[in-house]
Structure 1
Amino acid sequence: MLEELVHIDKQVFIYLNGLGSPAWDNLWQYISSKYSAIPLYLFLLILSYQKLGLKRTFLLVVSVALMITVSDQLSNFFKYGVARLRPCHDPDTMNVMRLVKSYCGGKYGYFSAHASNAFALATFFGIILRSQLRYIGVFLLLWASLVAYSRIYIGVHFPLDVLTGLLIGTLFGWVFAKLYIFVLPKFPL
């Protein structure tokens, strides 16, 4: 059963990765870059400050920093614990895939920290700011989905790596948002 799932995952990866085109490579590589989201992060920080004030925004920044640290480190733990090769290191896919950038990352790729972190942020801010901006959660989930897909497009993660990152990130975003909401009344203004 697991072998069949891995086989299907590889086939879906080859299909999705093969849809790419050199005309779009730079865009998807930019979306996948951790620096591409800096304007979004600044927007969320400014919006949080305007809606929540300085002290609550400080608590929010601490919460987000902890959430991303936990999400990122769990991803590293799984990468070495599960030891699933990235597509560019996997003998079944490395010769039939498109690697958009010259460096594909470390040897192991399960699960995607990019996907996990993006969905954690999207879920967290979608919950925290939904009363101030009705559709912020939808916008952030679309952004996180683009980041997640970009990892398949550029050839550094299999779809199950990304899907696992999506699920774990969403869980962490929800947990940390609920913790933030729980602690907020105890935090003096």
Structure 2
Amino acid sequence: MHEIITEDKKIFLLLNNLGSEPFDRFWTMVSGTWIWIPLYIIFLYLLYKNYKLRNLVFMLIFVAIGVTVSDQLAGIFKSGIGRLRPCHDPSLEHLMRSVQCGGQFGFYSSHASNTFFIATFMSMLLFRKYRFLPYILYFWAIVVSYSRIYLGVHFPLDILMGAGMGFLLGGFFSTLALKVIVKRSNT
């Protein structure tokens, strides 16, 4: 395990130190929530266009529950595992670029989990109609996730675990949503 953590720190330092001050504001914006509201409105429109209002309400409920579960699980893991964020790790203090810093613990990334949840959920619901959409959504999730390494708040393993959890939860909740929609259509 020690070797894995050492490699994780090396990869983090490589990726984190690719940054430079002129780009810090950009990556801070990418990592923010409010900048993505227009994208969420597009998601809402695509779901409405393809599933109509009566099913849209159920999908939004599944999204809300799924993002909440994704976020809360990340919080449980963070306090349960207790791995320091890079910006709180004394061994990295003079080796990394710290643009932002969050709470003390960071395993695993809520940003990665939530963005991969949304990417998977939307892909599962819309890929038949929009074949290109999963590529765009997963690219978006990867960019947001990388921003967390750039800013100095997560290690690559935090991101990978968050992405994996988001992917699994997105698949689970989209499957449930599709079952509810099919069941409602048959009644």
Q: What CA RMSD, in Å, does the superposition of the two structures yield over aligned residues?
A: 1.1
Q: Alignment partner for residue 123 of structure 1, among 93, 97, 120?
A: 120
CA distance in 1, matches of 2:167, 2:130: 19
TM-score (norm 1): 0.95
Q: Distance in 1 between matches of 2:93 and 2:42?
A: 38
Identity over aligned pairs, percent: 44
Name the counterpart of 2:178.
181
Alignment equivalent of 1:154, drawn from 144, 148, 151 = 151
Aligned to 2:135: 138
Aligned residues: 186
Q: Does the residue aligned with 2:140 lie in a helix, a strand or coil?
A: helix
Runs of 4+ in 1 over 4 A off after TM superposition: none
1:59-138 to structure 2, matched below 5 A, reads 59-101=58-100, 104-138=101-135
Task: Tell me the distance in 2 between the aligned counterparts of 1:23 and 1:57.
Answer: 41
**2: CA distance between counterparts of 1:15 and 1:95?**
14
Describe the superposition over 1:46-66 as per-residue Cα deviations: whole angstroms up to 9, x where unpaired: 111111100111111001001
Structure 2 CA distance for aligned equivalents of residues 46 and 90 of structure 1:
43
State the TM-score, normalizing by the size of structure 2: 0.96
After TM superposition, give the deviation of residue 10 of structure 1 in Å: 0.6
Q: Aligned to 1:105, what secondary structure does the other structure show?
A: coil
1:43-101 CA distance string (max 9 Å, x none)? 00011111110011111100100100000000000000000000011111122111113
